[in-house]
Each structure stands twice: as C-alpha cells, then as structure tokens.
Structure 1
Amino acid sequence: MSHKQDAFAAMKLMTTVKTAFYIGILATGLSVALTPLASPANAEVDDPKFFRVNMKPGATLNVRKDPSLKGKKIGALAAETDGIVNLGCHVGMPYLEWRNSTTAIRKVETRRKWCNIKYNGMVGWTAGQYLEADRPE
C-alpha cells in the first residue's frame, strides 16, 4: 500500500468510527425521548389509582381487549362498580389538567380517552368518559 492509500484508509476508518459514534448518541437520545411512548398505557403521576363506573343504575360499561369500539368485548362492569385498578389511560392531557378543564374541553377529551383497567382478574380497556376517580377503603 502506498502512503496515499494508507492515509485514505485511515481517513475512511475515522469517518466510519465518527459516524458510528454519532448514530449511537442519536439512538440513545431517541430511546430516552421515546421511552414514555413505549407503553401504550402509562398511568400519569396525577392519575387516580382506582376508578369507579359513573353511569346510571342498571347500565353496564363494556370492557374490551383493545382501546377501540372495534375491540373484542371481554366483559362488562355494572354501573357504580368501584375499586377498578387504573393501569393507565390514553388521553390528550394529564388527568389533573383534564379534571380542571372546562366542561366543553373535558367532553372533547373524554371521547378520545381509553383506560386500561383491572377488575376481579379481568384486564382490558374501557371508555374513560364513564370512569371517575375512586378511593377504595
């Protein structure tokens, strides 16, 4: 190998190492930034730990496998059921912000809110607009 070829090979290796280093930094930054998005249902710090069903007596709230009206129904909760464990909700804003918003904003946001819940061994998703904070004994 000539001196020019050695210099070229060294520069190429250095460029490859720099690129790998920058990609590593970028990947680390992205993983840190996207970590909260990794789980579809992360309970916010200010979310209630437990819910109760807020519906008129006699009504039932469907529990689904997926957070969608198209999700398979896996069960139902009777009106006023309490002690429902909050596993996290999909919502456009944190619970306290939602709770302190105007009625109009809350209505819009709750239509988009799905909560992952656990009750008597059943784990699934339900429409957040029919849940309210609960404090079990």
Structure 2
Amino acid sequence: MSISSWSRQRLSRFLQKLPQLPPLRKMDDDAKKMKNHLRGLFFLLLLLMSHNAYAEADGPDYWRVHGVDGGDVLNIRREANGTSEKIGEIPPDAQCIKNLNCIGGLTLNEFTTLSEAQKEKVKKERPRWCQIEFQGVTGWVDGRYLREGSCTNN
C-alpha cells in the first residue's frame, strides 16, 4: 500500500506543527549526566545489598527448637560436642534463641552437589553445632534441633 501525495502533505504539515526538540548535542550531554547518576545509584545499591548479604551469611539472627519431644529438652553444652558439660536446657517449644555462630555441617557446595546418602555421611562425620544465647546462658547446641526462628522480645 502506497501513501498518496495528499497523505504525504498532511503528514508533513502535522510534523511541522510538533514542538521543536532540543538539539541532539544537548540531549547527548543530558544523557551522559543521567547515565553517570544512574551508575552511581547502581553502585550504591550494590554496596548496600552486599552488606546485607554479608550480614546474613552466618545464618538467621534467631533460632527456634525443632524436633525435640514434648517431655524432653535441648541441652546447652560448654563445648561443641555431645560429651561436653551440660550448662543449661532449652524447652522443646522455645523461640528467641540468639544465633552466635555455627560450625560443622554441610557446605553450600556439598548441599547442592552431593546425593542424599553422601549428605547423611558428611552430617555424621561433621555434625553441625551452633553457639547460642538463651535466657542469659551462652553455649553450644546440636544444630539438628534448630530451625530459623524469630524474636519479638529484643
């Protein structure tokens, strides 16, 4: 389909009535300024996001007890092993257990690449122990019995 000369004339008149755009050179300078501002904002956001990633790299801020029977307790130990001196207890429904550090367990690479049988073997060879604080007692607990929790009593 071709455009008739009458249509071309109307289009030409319409385009002449449009407001004039700023010179291309000016737009290039403004575009460069905008690009630099956006680049700075991007790096600022990246910096802020990387700080949050680092802050959460060691696990959650608080734990809750998981998998301990109703009549039992989770033992707090002086050292990160099951034969260490018991220095406290945590009820089976406890929340607000402050996470200080965890050792052992699976690495991210092991978690994502090993089979379930291989994962179980590593967990037995290198069990996860977490250093916690609960109601003024600081010690170590078996990481198998912890899940991410929360605390509203900060």
**If the length of structure 2 is used for normalisation, what is the TM-score?**
0.51
1:62 aligned partner, one-letter code: N
Q: Give the 3 Å change call, closer, same or farther, for CA 134–103 of structure 1 in structure 2.
A: farther
| Mapping 1:15-54, distance limit 5 Å | 45=57, 47-54=59-66
Identity of aligned residues (%): 31
Determine the C-alpha separation between the residues in 2 that align with 1:69 and 1:104.
Answer: 23
Q: Give the paired residue count.
A: 95
How far apart, in 2, do the equivalents of 1:98 and 1:82 lie?
A: 26
Stretches of structure 2 lacking an aligned partner (at least 5 in a row): 1-54
Cα deviation 1:18-41 (Å, max 9, x = unaligned): xxxxxxxxxxxxxxxxxxxxxxxx
Return the offset for 1:92: 3.4
Q: CA deviation at 1:121?
A: 0.8
Q: 1:83 to 1:104 in 2, by over 3 A?
A: farther
Q: Select the structure that is richer in strand.
A: 1
* 2:131 paired residue number: 116
Q: Secondary structure at the match of 1:85?
A: strand
Q: Which deviates more, 101-110 or 68-77?
A: 101-110
SS at 1:129's partner residue? Answer: helix
- Which residue number in structure 2 is paired with residue 134 of structure 1? 149
- Say what the alpha-carbon RMSD is for the aligned residues: 3.0
Q: Which amino acid aligns with 1:58?
A: G
Greater Rg by CA: 2
Unaligned runs of 5+ in 1: 1-42
